[in-house]
Structure 1
Amino acid sequence: MSRWIPLESNPEWAVRAGLVKSQAHFEDIYGLDDELLAMVTQPVKAAILLFPITEQYENERKAQDERIAAEGQHPVDPTVFWMKQTISNACGTMALLHAMINSDVVFAPESAIQKFIDICKEQTPLERAKILETTPLFANIHADAAAGGQSAIPPNLDTDLHFTCFVQAPSPPRDGVAVDKTEMRLLELDGRRNGPIDRGVCLDFLKDVGKVVKDVYIAQTANVNFSLISLSGGPLPE
């Protein structure tokens, strides 16, 4: 497995990769209370969570993946872009790609991310992963972003922190029966999983993300190494 330097929560990566910052931006979410969520610039298109990997989480993740493989889950919109993570420590890049590609944001023509989208459009999740392994489009951006972080690059590249991404998508027909076109589903996109994870009906994106973060992640650890950022429309507020 290829291995990259662990990436901090660094939204400047997105701009260097091609996100047009006058049209969309990443910003910090300072808490999950309603008052703090209300401070986040709308519309929110995606959210990225950095969380500590614990033994309990790993056990629950594996059990859920096995259950979904055996029993299935609510159908996922087939147009959602997801790819498998096959590069160690690439979860930050994966989360940023999942957030931006699944949002209606603008990319600079001929930018790294636009080229990646064009190459991967008709590929499978594993083929996309192979392309990410072999393309030079993001490796240098990732390395520069990691080197420019606030923390020194660790001599040991193993890390117990991981990025995952949340987006919303329409609910596709189920068993051939059309559903309410306005029904949205909350999806978690994590390259370590076997595919997108359906987290239920999405009525209020940020509040629904906050509930999953509290119930699935925060509740099972005393570790406080969490951070959450949003991908919001428009330029970054001054």
Structure 2
Amino acid sequence: MSGGWNTIESDAGVFTYLIEKLGVRDVQFEELMTLEPEELRRLGKIYGVIFLFKYPTGETRSDTPKDGSFDHDAANNLFFAAQTIQNACGTQALLSVLLNKDGEVDIGKELREFKEFTGEFPPEFRGETLSNSDVIREVHNSFARSSPFIDETQRTATEDDDVYHFIAYTSINNKLYELDGLQPAPISHGDCTAEQFPDKVIPVLQRRIGRYPATEIRFNLLACVQDLRIRAREIGDMEALEEQEDKRNAWLWENALRRHNFVGFVGELMKGVVKAKLAQGGGAYDKWVEEAKGKTKKRMEDRKKQGIASDGID
């Protein structure tokens, strides 16, 4: 990977198995479909949420946040790292939740040693240390979608690009904090116990989304919660347990697919199809090509009739 960080998706299966590979135990992520406190509460023990949104690339830093207030003292009293590299913000956001829940969550040997090593660092040095962690970077990159066409490590965003950013919200020391590595300090949103978290965080998220045009719908919210299989076993809900096991198997399959690109496979498949047509004789091959052209032409005519613009391919 040439030492770079690749883009990962905001996906519950990706995040769940990413932290498991880092050594975290009994934690998973769940995608939230509504901004309702009850949807959060039904997930049981909640450690925090990860919010993905379109980042306004032309926005400049301010001495005061648009919501809440900077808590500069907290920057040194809890785990808060400045974001120093592109594409790492997804993993940085989930670590912002988990490393502040050490003791409540088994974060594993690697992350505990990382937290202890960076404990006395200022946020900038923590961010640099995170960016240079071979272990965390390699795990992060193992969940990036494979692409034979784009070298994600070399790409930098411009103001014309759609840039997305991950941030974390969690309750620490009975306060609701917004942890965004692009900000100079954690942002406090007031008093908040772990039990109050669903009711306190939802209005903050609603206000943030409200700053965007009504047409902007590209948001994603993942809850960081205790492994839902634990509660299912505790209450003897075998149906829920089976549902969670099936979901994890599906996540494993999807993550396996992410690690592979199928361009070579498709290329070989097309070669085989063409070879088979040629073996049937030149006439069969020419007929096949003409049939394909005819179908393409018909699709374009149908699209025009429906008022759909063509893609410019003749």
Q: Shorter-chain TM-score: what band?
A: 0.7 to 0.9
Letter in 2 for 1:106: D
| 8 Å CA contact retained: 2:37, 2:202 | no
Matched, 1:199 2:189: yes
* Structure with larger Rg: 2
| 8 Å CA contact retained: 2:71, 2:186 | no
In structure 2, the partner of 1:6 is 7
Query: Aligned match of 2:167 in 164, 168, 178?
Result: 164
Cα gap change, 1:195 to 1:34, in 2 (>3 Å): closer
CA distance in 2, matches of 1:144, 1:131: 19
| 8 Å CA contact retained: 1:18, 1:114 | no
**Higher strand proportion (structure 1 or 2):** 1
Offset of residue 153 of structure 1: 7.9
In structure 1, the partner of 2:202 is 210
Q: Counterparts in 2 of 1:10-159, with a 5 A limit?
A: 10-11=14-15, 12-21=17-26, 24-39=27-42, 41-54=43-56, 58=59, 62-63=61-62, 66-67=63-64, 73=70, 77=74, 78-103=76-101, 104-109=104-109, 112-147=110-145, 157=155, 158=157
CA distance in 1, matches of 2:176, 2:163: 25
Q: Secondary structure at the match of 2:108?
A: coil
CA distance in 1, matches of 2:163, 2:149: 15
Q: Point out where structure 1 has 5 or more consecutive residues left out of the alignment.
A: 171-183
Letter in 1 for 2:112: Q
The TM-score normalised by the length of structure 2 is 0.59
**Higher helix proportion (structure 1 or 2):** 2
Q: Point out where structure 2 has 5 or more consecutive residues left out of the alignment.
A: 230-240, 245-314
Matched, 1:228 2:198: no
Cα gap change, 1:76 to 1:200, in 2 (>3 Å): farther
| 8 Å CA contact retained: 2:28, 2:227 | yes
Q: What's the RMSD between the two structures over aligned residues? A: 2.7
Letter in 2 for 1:169: I
The TM-score normalised by the length of structure 1 is 0.77
Aligned length: 209
CA distance in 2, matches of 1:223, 1:131: 35
Work out which structure has the larger RCO, using CA pairs closer than 8 Å and 6 or more positions apart in sequence: 1
